[in-house]
Amino acid sequence: MYKITAKEHFSDAVVKLTVEAPLIAKSRRPGHFVIVIDSKHGERIPLTIADADPAAGTITLVVQGVGESTRAICAMEPGQSLTDVVGPLGRATTIRNGGTVVCCGGGVGVAPLLPIIKAMKAAGCRVVSVLAARTRDLIILEEEVRAHSDEVIIMTDDGSYGQKGLVTAGVEQVLQREPVDEVVTIGPAVMMKFVAALTRKYNVPTVASLNTIMVDGTGMCGACRVSVGGKMRFVCIDGPEFDAHQVDFDEMIMRLRP
């Protein structure tokens, strides 16, 4: 059992949970994810690791309640335990040593982006972070992102905070004004698709972290398969990060539909 030791509400539907998982806390790297089962009859769902504290033996998960299981996890309180947590899974992010990186995250995608921002900054990159959400209340982890970024651009669909507009508008501002070595994007598939389309135009290498359906998460079921550069790849084993310019986002979006 994996005890929840702390909980913080980011919004009605988004919570941050600190969970006891000492081995994972020690071995995880930015980009990794875990598979979580909330209860005895629960399903296996992939969640990216937002942070970890190896000394305390805990990992941080940011969960958005969208389905039955994620809503059940969001309703859990400190002291309760997740039945199963396994990981760290996937390949870790390749961290650049220097250069300018634009890290853009949408919605809860900011959570898995945070460890990448931290690592890029620590490795000596100039980090410009672009955070986007529908509205002000859904912007998460702004303070933490600010602490590890050279600049933060906030975009909201309704203009209630930062600039009004989509994440792509924020990214394009940076691309237009300075040379960028790499863009990292994590968020809804549609968002990543448009970020990829934008950066292709500017010819800037771009990494997208994909959030497909998974069952086991260990390279067995094939539910997470995506087409990358015309080849079948498995997000759990080969990913979750891929060259965004090679990903067939339309197919991925189709496969995510119920």
Partner 1 sequence: MNQDTISPRSAQWREELRRSITAKQRGEIARVAMPELPADFRVTTLSEEVNMGLSSEQAVLEARRCLDCPDPQCVTGCPVGINIPGFIKNIERQNFTDALAVLKETSALPAVCGRVCPQEKQCESKCIYNKMKKPAVAIGYLERFAADNADAPVPAKAPRLGIKVAVAGSGPAGLSFAGDMIKRGFDVTVFEALHEIGGVLKYGIPEFRLPNSVVEKEIDALRDLGVEFHKNTIIGKTLSYDDLIAEGFKAIFVASGAGLPRFMGIPGENYINVVSSNEYLTRVNLMHAGSDEYATPVHRGKRVAVIGGGNTAMDSCRTARRMGADKVMVVYRRSEAEMPARIEEVKHAREEGVEFLTLHNPVEYLADERGHVRAMRLQRMELGEPDASGRRSPVPVEGAIEEVEVDMVIVSVGVSPNPLIPSAIPDLETTRRGTVAVNDETLRSSIPTIYAGGDIVRGGATVILAMGDGRKAAAAMAKALLD
Site residues, partner 1 (CB under 8 A):
23-24, 27, 37, 41-44, 68-69, 83-89, 215-216, 218-223, 225, 227, 232, 234, 237, 251, 254-255, 257
Amino acid of residue 195: V
Shortest Cβ distance from residue 84 to partner 1 (Å)?
A: 4
26 vs 134 by CB, closer to partner 1:
26
209 vs 212 by CB, closer to partner 1:
212
Shortest Cβ distance from residue 197 to partner 1 (Å)?
A: 21
Shortest Cβ distance from residue 114 to partner 1 (Å)?
A: 21
Shortest Cβ distance from residue 94 to partner 1 (Å)?
A: 15
70 vs 149 by CB, closer to partner 1:
70
Shortest Cβ distance from residue 63 to partner 1 (Å)?
A: 15
103 vs 224 by CB, closer to partner 1:
224
10 vs 33 by CB, closer to partner 1:
33
